Amino acid sequence: MAFADLLEKTGGMGRFQIIHVTLLSIPILLMASHNLLQNFSAAIPHHNCKINWTGVTNSSTDNEGWVAVFIPMDGQGKPDSCLEFVEVQWRLANSNSTWHNTSNAETRSCTNGWEYDQEEFSSTIITEWDLVCSNKHRRQLAQSLYMAGVLVGAIILGGLSDRYGRRALLIWSYLQMAISGVCTAFSPNYLSYCVFRFLSGMALSGIGLNTTALIVEWVPTNVRTITGTLAGYSYTVGQLLLAGLAYGIRDWRWLQLSVSLPFFVYFLYSWWFPESARWLVLSGKPAKAVSQMKRVGTFNGKKEEAEKITLETLKADMMKEVACGNSSYTVFDLVRSSTVRRISFAVSFVWFSTSFAYYGLAMDLQKFGVSIYLIQVIFGAVDFPAKLVSTTCMIYIGRRVTQFFSLFLGGLAILANIFVPTELQTLRTSLAVFGKGCLAASFSCVFLYTTELYPTVIRQSGLGLGSTMARLGGIVAPLVKMLGEFYPFLPLLIYGGAPIVSGLLVYFLPETVNKPLPDTIEEVEEGNKDSVKKEKKEIVPLQTAKTNPVREVV
């Protein structure tokens, strides 16, 4: 509470906070691009075996029907993507036989490579390295390795941020994203592509975790929801930006380069950011915290009030927090005490299920049977009303109720598609879009909710835990999709069931709306005890009013 008062003295939500939040939100635009980039850079165009036209006249090759002489037709009457005839079926061209009368002809896998339709994509990693047919699983592997990088980044950078500061790790993450993203664009082979995408994933975790912390820890309590949501809208706009960039840049290398180079600019201006004063106090560096508070106060036009903040007044106002600066904390503190352990358990499931279902829907846009650019715009645009409703509910109803309903409704929308016939593509797409909007609202809520649940001393470790579970969900999601080859309804059942189950676990989390950020683990534990005592005070006197009226005073 003392720090919140000091923040108000330096200007509250002043000019510094507005510029600070804006500069931190701009890079989030391209975070969305990196997360969903493989929808376009690894898109699978129509393809079939490369045909050796030797012996066929040039005029004959203009007739697409001649393809059936070399390649068998699939069940839909189109050239098969992975097979060719062992012997050319010239008899089909010289007789009245139908093109589909080739069931007895011997076939084999493509021997001369593949031909790709370049009408929609001029170049993707699929066409460049032939990641089709027997190599088709390498596409999912590349995305899983990227998510693995995000997971590793959450584990490593989350802990390092609590130890070395939010600012230092954010600056490093911007630089790592810029370098690894550019190197990805110049990857000479599939292996190097996966390595650099892994490093990009690590950097993305560092950016996400430290951006959230620096925003939340520098703004007043009453505007945390709004600023957190505005940062979330940057991700939404980023999805629309990706659709526009991908539509205009059809070559995957140039597209990769266009979403990576701006991070060099973000790296340069990030040196302006001040370190979190909250973190400095809790890390045993109160003198630096005073310096940063004065800098912010002066920037906000509150120089006189800021000058009154001295090391002595800071220590007097934040005695408990300064004392905690001499203590060290590790990730084990996330499960050491009962209340924090319960928070970690529930939050982990919420992060996992939200990401698991979200990427199950968002990472395979070609399955909807419409323009991939259009569906990307629709999937991005639905976040605007979803996050607006989420923000309103978080302010007036609370975090816990908002988190529950966003998960529950999202899960129901996905489960409903099990019962919708495949030919009703519009209805299936509408349900998927609604479910994705609910999951986007859940993401918006859980980011803010997590920062408010954990105390400052382990806040980044808590966000790191949540991000780790989210990336596990992102890694598992493509693998679950493969179960559809055996039971078509099973992926949807799992994608929809997970958010509903985790939504029920939200009941075990405390409400945080309009409450000051806790700085120590003791504050979290005491806050839980106080809420329990409050419930007892409201109930016990009514039960004992006639027999023991003295207890009413307690």
Which residues touch 156 (CB under 8 Å, ≥6 apart)? Answer: 202
For residues 462 and 464, give the distance between their C-alpha atoms in angstroms, rounded to a whole number. 5
Element (H, E) at 537: helix 521-544
Q: When comparing pLDDT for 149 and 108, which is higher?
A: 149
Q: Is 522 helix (H, G, I), strand (E, B) or coil?
A: helix
Is the per-residue pLDDT at 229 higher than 80?
no
Q: Which of 256, 192, 266 is nearest to 234 (CA)?
A: 266
- The reported pLDDT for the residue numbered 68 is 64
Is the fold of 1-42+134-324 the same as that of 333-511?
yes
C-alpha pair distances (Å), 337 with each of 279, 334, 377: 21, 8, 45
Greatest mean pLDDT among 68-72, 406-410, 448-452 lies in 406-410
**Of 430, 439, 458, residue with least CA distance to 517:** 458
- Model confidence over 412-442: pLDDT tens digits? 988 888 888 877 778 888 888 898 889 988 9
- Per-residue model confidence (pLDDT) at position 546: 42
On average, the pLDDT of the chain sits at 78
**pLDDT higher than threshold 50 for residue 548:** no
| 165 conformational bin, left if phi > 0, alpha if psi -120 to 50, beta if neither | left
Residue 284 to residues 293, 321, 327, 334, Cα–Cα distance (Å):
15, 9, 8, 21
For the chain, the domains span 1-42+134-324, 63-114, 333-511
Residues 274-285: tens digit of each pLDDT: 888 777 877 777
pLDDT of residue 196: 94
Contacts of 405 (CB under 8 A, 6+ apart): 393, 503
Predicted local distance difference test score (pLDDT) of residue 215: 84
Backbone angles phi, psi at 280, to 5 degrees: -60, -40
Q: Return d(Cα 285, Cα 74) in angstroms, integer.
A: 69
Mean pLDDT on 57-69: 54
The pLDDT of residue 305 is above 70? yes
pLDDT for the residue numbered 549: 42
Q: Which residues contact 451 (CB under 8 A, 6 or more apart)?
A: 212, 213, 216, 228, 459, 463, 517
- Nearest Cα residue to 367 out of 435, 422, 309: 422
The Cα–Cα gap between 167 and 210 comes to 7
Q: What pLDDT does 220 receive?
A: 78
- Percentage of the chain surpassing pLDDT 70? 80
The pLDDT of residue 116 is: 81
Q: What is the mean pLDDT of residues 157-170?
A: 82
The pLDDT, as a whole number, for residue 553 is 33
Cα distance between residue 432 and residue 445, in whole Å: 20
Given a contact cutoff of 8 angstroms between Cβ atoms, the answer to whether 478 and 350 are in contact is: no
- Asked if pLDDT for residue 32 goes beyond 70, the answer is yes
Q: What is the pLDDT of residues 287-299, one digit of tens each?
A: 887 788 888 888 7
In CATH, what number does 1-42+134-324 get? Answer: 1.20.1250.20
Check: CB of residue 446 under 8 Å from CB of residue 351: yes
Question: pLDDT per residue over 350-379, tens digit each?
Answer: 999 998 888 887 766 656 666 788 888 888
Higher pLDDT, 169 or 286: 169
The percent of residues in the chain predicted with pLDDT above 90, rounded, is 14
Q: Decide: 69 and 93 in contact? Cβ < 8 Å.
A: yes
Q: Is the pLDDT of residue 531 over 90?
A: no
For the cut 80, the answer to whether the pLDDT of residue 83 exceeds it is no
The string of pLDDT tens digits covering residues 445-482 is 888 888 888 887 787 778 778 877 887 888 888 778 77
Q: Which residue has the tokens 């090759």?
A: 61
pLDDT of residue 236: 81
239-262 pLDDT, tens per residue?
A: 888 888 988 888 889 999 999 999
Q: Taking 70 as the threshold, does the pLDDT of residue 483 lie above it?
A: yes
The DSSP secondary structure of 237-253, one letter per residue, reads: HHHHHHHHHHHH--BHH
pLDDT at residue number 551:
38
What is the Cα–Cα distance from 213 to 221, expressed in whole angstroms? 13
pLDDT confidence of residue 103: 56
The predicted-structure confidence for 331-343, as pLDDT tens digits, reads as follows 677 878 888 889 9
Give the residue with greater pLDDT, 90 vs 303.
Answer: 303
Q: Give φ, ψ of 513 to 5 degrees.
A: -60, 130
Q: What is the pLDDT of residues 111-125, one digit of tens each?
A: 777 788 877 788 888
The band of 62, judged by pLDDT with boundaries at 50, 70 and 90, is very low
Contact by Cβ (8 Å): 344, 465? yes
What is the pLDDT, as a whole number, of residue 263? 94
Q: Which of 157, 178, 165, 389 is nearest to 266 (CA)?
A: 178
The whole-number pLDDT of residue 4 equals 67
Average pLDDT estimate for 81-109: 62
* Residue 426 contacts residue 451 (beta carbons within 8 Å): no
Whole-angstrom distance, CA of residue 100 vs CA of residue 296: 75
Mean pLDDT calculated for residue range 18-42: 87
What is the predicted pLDDT for the residue at 188?
92
pTM: 0.72
pLDDT of 317: 61
Structure-block tokens of residue 376:
């990307």
Q: In a 3-state reduction of DSSP, which class is residue 114?
A: strand
pLDDT given at position 92: 56
pLDDT the model gives residue 61: 44
Inter-residue contact 329 to 481 (CB < 8 Å): no
333-511, CATH topology level: Growth Hormone; Chain: A; (1.20.1250)
Give the range among 25-29, 171-175, 217-221, 480-484 with minimum mean pLDDT: 480-484
Cα-based torsion angle of the residue sequence 382, 388, 392, 394 in order, rounded to the nearest 10 degrees: 70
